[in-house]
Amino acid sequence: MTYPHIKALILDWAGTTVDFGSLAPVCALQSVFAANGVPVTAAEVREHMGLLKKDQIRAICAGERVKDAWTARYGRAPAEADVELMFGEFLPRQAAILADFSQPIPGVPETIEAWKSAGLRIGSTTGYTHDLMNVVMPAAARLGYAPDTCVTPDEVGAGRPKPFMCYRNAIMLGVYPLWCCVKIGDTPVDVAEGLNAGMWTIAITGTGNEIGVSLADWQALSAEERCRRESEARQRLVAAGAHFTASSLTACGELLEEIERRIAAGEKP
């Protein structure tokens, strides 16, 4: 299959191409909040996954339960200074474990190589900073996954849902128009990023944040339970505006063919 009309794919990292279940950010952020005397649940972390991590910390702090727990602990609601402090603590904690969570999701390296061979350019965006991606990218590359470009929020002045990382990828890849590009990610803000950039969007269910379990735990579930959880994840991602959903990046082939047909027929996202 060739794609004469699709110019590029812009892929997320954790939960989409590496780190099955998007586990690394949850681990690090829970550690930071616990160290500051206000433990948070995985669900509270995952609710805001995909944002620039400082924005994610800010959003977690704004939650009613966390705000109340912080007030009970410190006698006041969390302030911007607390966000800055925890973000500073987060960075080294995340960097220390990232290499262990940079394993490509099964089938991703082979799928990416096939798409590259078909002429597609592969860009990427993330909620991690440039320094954190300097840990992730070499580790993932050693294991077979290396996109053509990677853009981080601190390189463009803002993270998702703003579309600036997508714009920067397009510039670096030399591709246009953006309605001939496809954004693939596993969170509602991934979808929003793609939509705001004017791209087609595919949301990933099974391997990503919306289900949020390790590969081993996922494989241990019954087929019925996997189906149930994917159905719930699909509903949330479609509600966020995704044009299509797939269980994993490796299951996107037919969707890309459909997008190729639609673009050829004159459709835009």
C-alpha distances (whole Å) from 198 to each of 81, 141, 173, 193, 221 are 35, 29, 16, 9, 37
- What φ, ψ does residue 216 adopt, rounded to 5°? -65, -45
Q: Rounded to an integer, what distance in angstroms lies between the CA atom of residue 21 and that of residue 154?
A: 24
Q: Are 182 and 9 in contact (CB under 8 A)?
A: yes
Tokens of 182: 């496809």
Catalytic residue among 7, 19, 53, 82: 53
DSSP output for 37-73? T----HHHHHTTTTS-HHHHHHHHHHSHHHHHHHHHH
- Residue 217's closest CA among 42, 41, 23, 13? 23
- The verdict on whether 12 is a catalytic residue reads yes
- Catalytic residue, chosen from 7, 12, 55, 82, is 12
Residues catalogued as catalytic: 12, 53
